[in-house]
Structure 1
Amino acid sequence: MPKAKQTSLRADFAVDAGEGGGAVLRPKGNWIVTHIEGLGERLRQALKPYETLTVDASQLEALDTAGAYVLRNALNERLQGEIFTGQENFARLYGIVGSHAVPISQYARENPEPTKLWLHPFYFGLVKLGKLATRFKTGFMAQSVFMGHIIAQLMMSVAKPGSLRWAALVNVMQRAGIEAIPIVLMTSIFIGGVLGFIGVLQLNQFGSGIFAIDMVAMFALREFAPLVTAVLLAGRSASAFAAEVGAMKMNQEIDAMRVMGIDPYEALIIPRLIALVFMSTFITFLSTLGMLFGGMLAIWSTLGAGPSTFLQRVQDYVPFYNFFVGIVRPPFFAATIAIVGCWQGMQVKDDVLSLGRQVTTAVVQSIFLVFMLDALFAILFNGFTM
């Protein structure tokens, strides 16, 4: 037995022009969501020339909320009389859609289009500036609260040393400090060697190659050793702190700690901050020795000035305050790195993309702040002449 042929009436319409700028709209077919693709724009263009509209829905087969909204939006308050005479279901559906729809005229009044194109870049810049200021204000307030909590917790740790998590502190000192020594030493030796080769290459032109020892020693003691150590710690520790704290935040472990009455600042942030501050000075000292050793090897291989000459000249011509100028910086650098890393970790949301974004931000921000602090220290110690 052959199957009955199934017909699918697409949504369509006809417009008959009337008198006095009016027209009659005759919707046809199935005005449902699967059949109205592109219908709205065609309907608006067809009805645009007419001031008043009447509707004859006798040929309308089916209607859903999507079709009713298209019809409601196209009529645009120009309807005259009733639409669905004797079609109560269609009339009720149209009324429900109309009660929740926003008239186009009202939308145009609430959202006027800019009239002057040359104002668009200026307006766009103001909007961006306003959003940036709002975001800066919100971030500044949140970071102020974060810093206040850290300072209060540090004061409590000083008042009650027993409250400090010593096991976590020693663990972080090993991971962020002891395990960072090999990479810091190797990098410092290479940089010291580069400084020695460049110093000899330039100063030999004036017959003063021996002064390369003074240059390497002063740069290593005063600037490069603290800065190189801080940058390497920022790459290792800031990213590690942000990833560790962020993973706990993402897995709701920090919320669980608060429920159990454990302060996350006391358990997570303070041990990392204190451990990195303590270890940074020791690592910077080793970095200084490594940089001097690399410079000594470079100068020895090019000038023939052996270790005894190098050490004697450093002792005679490089004042001790250069070492002091360099060694006072690491605790400030380390505190900045630890705070930025933990802060970015606390900002992680519930997805892995947020974790990766905050880890990257932690490294970039910490390195930027380290360079900024180094510039401030250079200005502060400008009176300590070489």
Structure 2
Amino acid sequence: MSLTPVFSAPDTEQAGEYRLAGDWCGAPVQEIGDSLIHTVRGDPASTLDLTEVRRMDIAGAWAVLRALGAEPELKRIRARPEHMRLLEMVARADASRPKRRTGPGPIRAFLERVGRGVISVADETYGTLAFAGQLMVVTGRTLMDPRRIRWASCVSMAERAGLDALPIVIVTTFFIGAVVGLLGVNTLRQFGAEVFAVELIGIAVTREFGIVITAVLLAGRSASAFAAEIGSMKMTQEVDAMRVLGVDPFEALVFPRVAALLLTIPLLTFAATVAGLMGGALVTWSMLGLGPTFFMNRMVENVGDNHFWIALSKAPVMAIAIAGIGCRQGMLVKGDVLSLGKRVTAAVVQAIFAIILIDAIFALIYMELDL
């Protein structure tokens, strides 16, 4: 008897019965097994005669079962008892293996993604409104009883969110004002109206760039810090410990941060506006020879302070949005570092998006009011 695995096609006496012989084990099974699968699967009514098989291992049994199709029928096999037990064991192991699920079609997958996105937006909107309502309740309760205000925490947060952010805000807006001045001078020079660069700088900086740049910097600096601080406390279960001790986390953690930004963002906006105007004034002085006195006179006569107060009216809304988003994302942190990283990133992205949206809404409102 041959020791290599072989099989023979059906003869005229045993129509549809393939005979296997030799040792169906080890590496040689691979090539002969593929040939057996290709041959037998083309004849679905065939049977296999394994009585002449000398030895068989799991590889040989798997090749025999694969030849009978995805759902092999053992009744189509004639074999010795030990080989039949091996075939039954391999068949049971294959049946218990989790089947790989085919993914949905491209249209269904697209619709599922859209549906999950809509549900996510709805959940986020509901959670934001719930958070805002709870913050309003805590704010009203605290203002009615000022003794509940944690002044030390408010002052500390104001220093970290305000004074510590002052250098980066001043430097950034100074260069923003200089860039606006450069663009204004080069553009208006084509029309011989370089002097109107003063009005361009004044309106752009006082009305938009002063508040928007300040808010964006605070979104990247303070919103992420608030989310990371509260998220770390959530991970170490300090927030749960506060609730056990009867301390409201909104009153102890959220309100001081919101109050700190409400206090500091108008001051930072003023400093940013002054720095931006200084940057623009330096450009007009160096490129056009218009001194600081001339710059300030045109600012007072043609720009005025109306645009600055319009910008300042946006500050409280942006402060609440930045602090609220940062604190809310911190409250949503779970017990792992991955969740903390995701929430800190979400805090920055959502805060910047909220700033742009709030600025656009205010622009539409003031446009309708002709301001």
Q: Shorter-chain-normalised TM-score: which range?
A: 0.7 to 0.9
Contact 2:65 2:91 in 1 (8 A): no
- Equivalent position to 1:271, from 237, 244, 256: 256
- Equivalent position to 2:214, from 215, 226, 229: 229
The yes-or-no answer on 1:21 pairing with 2:21 is no
1:80 matched residue in structure 2: 75
1:8 matched residue in structure 2: none
State the aligned residue count. 361
Distance 1:144 1:368 in 2: 17
* Structure 2 counterparts to residues 1-386 of structure 1, below 5 A: 19-23=14-18, 45=38, 47-51=40-44, 53=47, 56=50, 59=54, 75=68, 76-80=71-75, 97=93, 100=96, 120-383=105-368, 385=370
Q: Deviations over 1:271-291 (max 9, x none)?
A: 212211221111111111222
Q: Secondary structure at the match of 1:80?
A: helix
RMSD: 4.0
Question: C-alpha displacement at 1:38, in angstroms?
Answer: 10
Q: For structure 1, which segment, 14-23 or 164-173, has the greater mean C-alpha deviation from structure 2 after superposition?
A: 14-23
Question: C-alpha displacement at 1:184, in angstroms?
Answer: 0.9
Letter in 1 for 2:75: Q
Distance 1:40 1:130 in 2: 46
Q: Secondary structure at the match of 1:382?
A: helix
Distance 1:195 1:354 in 2: 40
Q: Secondary structure at the match of 1:49?
A: coil
Distance 2:16 2:62 in 1: 24
Distance 1:207 1:183 in 2: 35
Alpha-carbon spacing, 1:27–1:98, altered in 2? closer, same or farther (3 Å): farther
Alpha-carbon spacing, 1:78–1:205, altered in 2? closer, same or farther (3 Å): closer
Distance 1:268 1:90 in 2: 66
Q: Deviations over 1:333-373 (max 9, x none)?
A: 22222222223333444443443333233222222221122
Q: Deviations over 1:273-318 (max 9, x none)?
A: 2211221111111111222222223323334433333333322222
Q: For structure 1, which segment, 294-303 or 17-26, has the greater mean C-alpha deviation from structure 2 after superposition?
A: 17-26
Q: Deviations over 1:252-271 (max 9, x none)?
A: 43344444444333322222
- What's the % identity of the aligned pairs? 36
Distance 1:193 1:252 in 2: 48
Distance 1:336 1:257 in 2: 25
Q: 5+ unaligned residues in a row in structure 2: which ranges?
A: none
Q: For structure 1, which segment, 352-361 or 329-338, has the greater mean C-alpha deviation from structure 2 after superposition?
A: 352-361
Letter in 2 for 1:298: V
Distance 2:202 2:302 in 1: 10
Alpha-carbon spacing, 1:298–1:250, altered in 2? closer, same or farther (3 Å): same
Q: 5+ unaligned residues in a row in structure 1: which ranges?
A: 1-11, 115-119
Contact 1:22 1:50 in 2 (8 A): no
Letter in 2 for 1:79: L
TM-score (ref. length: structure 2):
0.78
